[in-house]
Amino acid sequence: MKPACIFDLDGVIVDTAKYHYLAWKRLANSLGFDFTEHDNEQLKGVSRIESLKLILRLGGKQLSELEFDAALIRKNGWYLEYIQQIGPGEILPGAAEFLRSVREYGMRVALGSASKNAVLILERIQLLDQFDAIVDGNKVSKAKPDPEVFLKAAEELGVQAEDCIVFEDAVAGVQAARNAAMKVVGIGSEAVLQQAHFVVPNFMGLRIENVLARFS
Ligand code: G6P
Ligand code: MG
């Protein structure tokens, strides 16, 4: 069977990772502590709820259940504010072309993202029609590094886990793909994404044939 590709969204297809960071930083600051870009690496790919738990641990802060829920709503409100203007211009370099080449090659494509805002973002950047299956934060209950999101994507595509190639920018996402026994291409820094099978800085100039050759 032809392998299929599963793409993470934030930081892989679209440049929203910076807006998640800004919104979390704003929340941390409002709670009286700072939150650095270095700390943010741990949050990439991690669900909204798990991210807040991690931030509170980093800041040594405890919230009541009500305050916790209110903080989640505030963060998402800010995030939605930041991405209000988002459009195809924020698609990461080479990502749309790579996606198109994968489809032209005859491979099936799924989204595997922890984000509950995934469909909204795909609509805004006009890539929604490029996916055969979309598994997002509304469809899963376990956060990456749990493999649930990618296993569900494989199931929706009707392919075996071992026939899937995942594209991920986050440590937790790379681990999730590994935990699903899938192949994984890291998008970003080799130093950070050491558990990926291989890492590219971005999709510029990347061809699906080269990716397949690496795994053959
Ligand atoms: C992605 C991002 C995370 C984000 C998560 C939930 O995986 O990498 O930074 O926390 O999705 O996103 P949401 O849009 O539902 O808050
Ligand atoms: Mg990501």
- SS3 assignment for 7-25: ECCECCCECCHHHHHHHHH
- pLDDT above 70 coverage of the chain, percent: 100
Domain holding 120, by residue range, is 4-15+90-215
CATH of the domain at 24: 1.10.150.240
How far is residue 99's CA from residue 207's CA, in Å, rounded to a whole number?
A: 10
- The pair phi, psi for residue 39, each rounded to 5°, is -60, -35
Is residue 1 predicted with pLDDT exceeding 80? Answer: no
For residue 41, the model assigns a pLDDT of: 85
**In a shared domain, residues 8 and 26:** no
For residue 42, the model assigns a pLDDT of: 87
What tokens appear for 55 in the block? 């931030």
**In a shared domain, residues 128 and 200:** yes
10 is in an annotated binding site: yes
Active site residue 8: yes
**In a shared domain, residues 128 and 102:** yes
What strands lie across the sheet with 109-112, from one edge to the other? 133-135, 109-112, 4-7, 164-168, 183-187, 198-200
**In a shared domain, residues 166 and 152:** yes
**In a shared domain, residues 44 and 115:** no
Active site residue 10: yes
The answer to whether 18 and 41 are in contact (CB under 8 A) is: no
**For 9-65, what is each residue's pLDDT tens digit?**
999 999 998 999 999 999 999 999 999 999 998 888 899 999 999 999 999 999 999
Is residue 94 predicted with pLDDT exceeding 90? Answer: yes
Q: Which of 20, 39, 69, 80 to mutate to test the pocket of ligand 1 (most atoms within 8 A of CB)?
A: 20
24 is in an annotated binding site: yes
How many folded domains does the chain comprise?
A: 2
For residue 216, the model assigns a pLDDT of: 87
The pTM score is 0.94
For residue 2, the model assigns a pLDDT of: 78
